[in-house]
Structure 1
Amino acid sequence: MKKFSLIGSLLLALTQPAWASGDHDHAHEHKPLHGGIVVEAAHMDWELVASPERIVIHVRDHGKKASTAGATGKLTLLSGGHKSEAVLKPAGEDRLEAQGPFTLGPGTKIVATVQLQGKKGANVRFSLK
């Protein structure tokens, strides 16, 4: 009987962190506010708005604008067999921007590696449809 009690206690202890992580506050929605693609990463929302001339990433923290002052980052674009990179720079209070020209189309994968000041770095992956 002790063996079953010990196993039951162990299983309960191992599953408890999973219950705690389910307590994430989702009072905000992950909808695009600028007509782009929204991805959640590093507990923040990242909205990609891409054109051949410019790529903009809007950053929100729990539904509120997140400061990009002092942020650094880069984009890696994979389109067909073509790979390109661009530097992301702060452009306003809550967004990062890279200047083109960019080759974009359905299936293009874009990876943003971003370091916001005072926050843990984030790798954000987008896929154009």
Structure 2
Amino acid sequence: MKFHTLLITSSLFLSGLAWAGPHDADHKPMQGGVLTTVKDVDYELVAKPDVLQLFVRDHGKPVDVSKTTAKVTLLSGADKQEVELKPTGDKLEAKGSFKVAPGTKVVAQFSSAGKTTSARFVLK
């Protein structure tokens, strides 16, 4: 009975490694930002004091954001800043002055083709 339990446990462990490996390799920041995944779509936020950029990829391929609107809320301590991002080439972007210290929490809402999606980030 112990051998049977060991065999099942080993099989589950190894199958978990096989499943996690290839998927994790696809989900890395490509622009040096912070990455989150919502419903198999990767959202990468690049946050600098003078620019916010949001890149959207579906299975590693850029998503057309030309008809997408986005609002980002930056939360740092008691400070709250809301910013509209506009399509710029292959990304959504806003320029200005932003409080983007490590630990800042960011909530982004996207609207495209009548669908709304939210993504959350914590800046490093």
TM class, shorter-length: 0.7 to 0.9
User: Cα RMSD over matched residues?
Assistant: 2.0
Deviation (angstroms), 1:39: 0.5
1:70 equivalenced with 2:67 (yes/no)? yes
Instruction: Give 1:124's aligned residue.
Output: 119
Unaligned runs of 5+ in 2: 1-18
The whole-number CA distance in structure 1 between the counterparts of 2:106 and 2:63 is: 21
TM-score, scaled relative to structure 2: 0.76
SS for the counterpart of 1:104 is: coil
The whole-number CA distance in structure 1 between the counterparts of 2:38 and 2:97 is: 26
Instruction: Give 1:3's aligned residue.
Output: none
TM-score, scaled relative to structure 1: 0.74
The whole-number CA distance in structure 1 between the counterparts of 2:106 and 2:24 is: 28
Could you list the structure 1 runs, at least 4 aligned residues long, displaced by more than 6 angstroms after superposition: none
SS for the counterpart of 1:121 is: strand
Alpha-carbon distance change, 27 to 53 in structure 1, aligned in 2, over 3 angstroms: closer
Unaligned runs of 5+ in 1: 1-21
The whole-number CA distance in structure 2 between the counterparts of 1:49 and 1:27 is: 20
Residue pairs, 1:83-102, within 5 angstroms: 83-92=80-89, 94-102=90-98
| Range that drifts further, 76-85 or 28-37 | 28-37
- Bigger proportion of residues as helix: 2
Instruction: Give 2:46's aligned residue.
Output: 49
SS for the counterpart of 2:73 is: strand
* Cα shift readout 1:33-80 (whole Å, capped 9, x = no counterpart): 111111001320001111011100011011111000111110100011
Instruction: Give 1:61's aligned residue.
Output: 58
| Range that drifts further, 94-103 or 46-55 | 94-103
Alpha-carbon distance change, 70 to 28 in structure 1, aligned in 2, over 3 angstroms: farther
Instruction: Give 1:11's aligned residue.
Output: none
* Cα shift readout 1:3-32 (whole Å, capped 9, x = no counterpart): xxxxxxxxxxxxxxxxxxx9xx94961101
% same residue: 47
Q: Which amino acid aligns with 1:116?
A: S
- Whether contact under 8 Å (1:86, 1:99) holds in the other structure is no
